[in-house]
Amino acid sequence: MDKKEEPSRRRSAVSRLLDFAGPRKALTYLGCTLSAISMVVGFGPYVCIWLVARDLIAVAPNWSTATSIAVYGWWALGLSVASILLYFAGLMCTHLAAFRCAANMRKRATEHLMHTSLGYFDTHASGALRRVVDGCAAETEGMLAHKLPDTAGSVAMIVGMLVLFFVFDWRLGLACLVPVILSLICMFYMMGGRGMEFMTKYMESLVKMNKTGTEYVRGIPVVKVFQQTVHSFKAFHDAIEEFTRLAQDYAVRWCRTPQSLSLTIINGVALFLVPVAILLAPGEGDFGAFLANFAFYAIFSAVIPTAMTRVMFMSDALQSATDAVNRVEEVLAAPMIKAPAAPKEPVDNSIVFDDVSFTYEGVNERALSHVSFSVPAGSTVALVGPSGGGKTTATSLVPRFWDVCAGRVLVGGVDVRSMDPHRLMEHVAFVFQANHLFKQSVLENVRAARPDATREEVARALSAAQCDDIIEKLPDGVDTVYGAAGAHFSGGEVQRLMLARAIMKDAPIVVLDEATAFADPENEAKIQKAFSELASGRSGEKRTVLMVAHRLSTVRKADKIVVLDAGRVAEQGTHDELLAAGGLYARMWADYERAVSWKITSEEVA
């Protein structure tokens, strides 16, 4: 968190939430004011009841002489109706503000994520982000729309109670005040300190369950194939167990006793009021007035549990809202890819890594350390090396998924940080290991690279990507929808469709990361043909290709091979040059040849 954010964090959660409501913030204040007035007006019927009791006791047993009773009844009815109308108007105001606040939270978080570096989504699961953007915004609605005006009313009620407690008979009022104080002590014990700590852990647990639950649902086919239970997906199981332990510990060990005590005390005001009244009654000179006062406090004490329950719910809602706004602000603090004040244009399609070092956030070891190599315009350069060597990290720096920690990545002689992000995205097409098809038709999936493309252009891109056999077997051709109720594709088929999307984009630079990772031999052969089409370009001009591969057969004809090991460039050159050097690449090639020539024989089976 930077220094500019610290003053914001010191502000209350409510004020930070209301900032999202914009001009409708004023409606929240108006709604809370109306709710408070409604609660004060709601005291009127109780006062009218006291007036009725006072007049009846004063004229007993000549009840007919109490002529003002009907007037008090009409006043009580009118005040009750007025209280309801004021409360309804207050809720209308707070709901309008709450809906705008939640909508703006979602919009701002979504808009911010649209400008966040793509690498941010590699370290933040989609399930967790959805929980923050949508779930946290939803949690604030109840607090702003209901709990906040109810709290304003409760504060007005408590102040009104304190006044009324001491207006008629301060001794009986003090007897009613004692259970209120004891109940507040119990609430502060539950909600303060450890209560806030619990709410933070509770929200973290919900986010974790949402994240791991999404991953588990996606992995259900694998779980079913191997006939496993939820225990087979340990992360999801552990998240459920953690939430269960957390909730049980807080509810049973921490809240059970103070909550039970608070509810008993606040609903048993008579236990304090009646003994005091019995002790005071013998010494009262005007017993009738004392009896009327006692009747008022006995009836009015029914309001106390309502007020205290609202305060308790507000404490819980405030804790949830505080955590929600903190999480949304963390998303809004995610690093953004901003366009420079004076963006520069690349002069060609070359790529240069100039002494590049990069470290992932929260990791001590460098993923890349002083990496330097060049990809001349129109050439194909392959990155190979042991797993974890930094190959994927290097390719992700070209489209600026991350910004380098040191050195420069140049595209067309221009530092990618000096280019307009949209221009950079237009300049680079990429196909990574984690490919994603939308729940749309094949046509729309390929057209996502260039929404204005015609059907004929999409067809040519699919044909260039060797997807003709895929389209032929689909019931509706390119209009077949991919997804649960539509078509399904193998890993190799998905790769070819991704290549069709890259071909459709027609970018001068192509970044490929393990494009044959999920392909069988037949698909791999077709993908290799698609590579040739992708590298040549629609106009016949060769594209610049930077590719990562574990299958060394796919990089034999590359113009240059860069071997990365432990984040450093171990060697670079052509296939023949590296074999002649007898270094890491030569050893990897020997291992590869042994692997592809290995087969099971009848003697080995025996």
Tokens 């779980």 -> residue: 223
pLDDT of 282-315, one tens digit each? 877 777 778 777 877 787 777 777 777 766 666 6
Average pLDDT over every residue of 72-80: 90
Question: What strands lie across the sheet with 568-573, from one edge to the other?
Answer: 428-431, 509-513, 544-548, 380-384, 560-565, 568-573
pTM: 0.59
Hey, what long-range contacts does 355-364 have (CB within 8 A, 24 or more apart)?
A: 355/406, 355/407, 355/408, 356/394, 356/397, 356/404, 356/406, 356/407, 356/408, 356/409, 357/404, 357/405, 357/406, 357/407, 358/393, 358/397, 358/402, 358/404, 358/405, 358/406, 359/405, 360/123, 360/402, 361/123
Contact 125, 11 (CB under 8 A): no
CA distance 13 to 589: 60
Residue with tokens 């929200």: 203
CA distances from 99 to 15, 20, 173, 332 (A): 16, 10, 41, 19
Question: Given a cut of 90, is residue 357 above it in pLDDT?
Answer: yes
When mean pLDDT is compared over 68-82, 236-250, 301-315, the highest value belongs to: 68-82
Across residues 584-593, what is the average pLDDT? Answer: 85
Query: What's the pLDDT score for residue 78?
Result: 94
pLDDT at 425: 83
pLDDT at 373: 92
**Whole-number Å distance between alpha carbons of 55 and 52:** 5
Quick: pLDDT tens for 425-449: 888 887 776 667 777 888 888 888 8
Cα–Cα dist 292/289, whole Å: 5
Torsion of CA 134, 140, 145, 147, to 10 degrees: 150
Question: pLDDT tens across 551-571, in order?
Answer: 777 778 888 999 999 889 999
> CA gyration radius for the chain?
36
Q: Residue 353's pLDDT is what?
A: 93
pLDDT score at 5: 46
What pLDDT digit, counting tens, does each position of 245-254 carry?
A: 877 777 777 7
Cβ neighbours around 23 below 10 Å, total: 8
Q: Calculate the average pLDDT of the chain.
A: 78
Say which range, 124-128, 265-269, 425-429, 541-545, has the weakest mean pLDDT.
Answer: 124-128
Distance (Å, rounded) from C-alpha 40 to C-alpha 34? 10
Domains observed in the chain:
13-332 (1.20.1560.10), 351-596 (3.40.50.300)
| Mean pLDDT score, 259-284 | 82
Which residue would you say has higher pLDDT here, 404 or 363? 404
User: How distant, in Å, are the alpha carbons of 49, 65, 67, 164 from that of 71?
Assistant: 11, 14, 8, 22
Residue 356 has what pLDDT? 92
CA atoms within 13 A on the CB side of 278: 6
Where residue 574 falls (left for φ over 0; alpha for ψ -120 to 50; beta otherwise) is beta
Q: Sheet holding 351-358: strands in order across?
A: 368-375, 351-358, 406-411, 414-415
Q: Angle 115-116-120 (CA atoms, 0-180°, nearest 5)?
A: 160
Query: Rounded to an integer, what distance in angstroms lies between the CA atom of residue 141 and that of residue 132?
Result: 14
Selected residue with higher pLDDT from 268 and 383: 383
**Best CA proximity match to 362, nearest among 123, 564, 115:** 123
pLDDT in tens, 457-499: 888 888 888 888 888 888 888 888 876 555 777 777 777 888 8
Say how many C-beta atoms besides its own lie within 10 A of residue 355's C-beta: 12
Tokens coding 371: 């990496």
| pLDDT average, residue stretch 15-40 | 87
DSSP of 114-154: HTB-TTHHHHS-HHHHHIIIIIIHHHHHHIIIIIHHHHHHH
pLDDT at 162 over 50: yes
- Which band of pLDDT confidence, cut at 50, 70 and 90, is reported for residue 38? very high
